[in-house]
């Protein structure tokens, strides 16, 4: 799994002119599921993201997690995170999981985050979405469950 995690002051997702998910202070998580990912990848991502210490403490140091600040998560499935442009200029998505498997693991990720008592809003799987992100900092973290970066 791959994720782009952004610390936000506000974010929302709109599908067909209707907001399907909206948060204030928290994390915007764009999540891509790779072919071959499984439960262990979903667990890794849920643990890593909910434990990231990227919110500032009283001294202005990034030392607090989303749990510590009472924030929320807005999760959006995004297969384009698996796009490979090493050859040519048109992305290849052959490493992305098939939609049925990707949706299953995306749903599992959300469930795991909720089990950690963090409210999670979401987009709609495979829908055309407009995502509004007010990145705070800006702070953006890239994660890969295979620890490629």
Q: So which residues are the catalytic ones? A: 78-80
Count the neighbouring beta carbons within 10 Å of the beta carbon of residue 16: 10
Q: At 44, phi and psi to the nearest 5? A: -55, -50
Task: Please give the Cα distance from 96 to 129 (Å, whole number).
Answer: 19
């Amino acid at each position: 799994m791959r994720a782009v995690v952004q610390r936000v002051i506000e974010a929302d997702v709109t599908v067909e002119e209707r907001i399907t998910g909206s948060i204030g202070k928290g994390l915007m998580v764009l999540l891509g599921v790779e072919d071959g990912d499984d439960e262990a990848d979903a667990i890794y991502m849920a643990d890593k993201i909910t434990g990231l210490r990227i919110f500032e403490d009283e001294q202005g140091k990034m030392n607090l997690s989303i749990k510590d600040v009472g924030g929320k998560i807005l999760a959006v499935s995004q297969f384009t995170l698996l796009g490979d442009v090493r050859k040519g200029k048109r992305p290849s998505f052959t490493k992305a999981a098939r939609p049925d498997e990707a949706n299953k693991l995306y749903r599992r990720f959300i469930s795991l985050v909720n089990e950690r008592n963090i409210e999670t809003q979401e987009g709609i799987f495979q829908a055309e979405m407009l995502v509004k992100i007010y990145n705070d900092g800006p702070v953006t973290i890239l994660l890969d469950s295979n620890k490629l970066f």
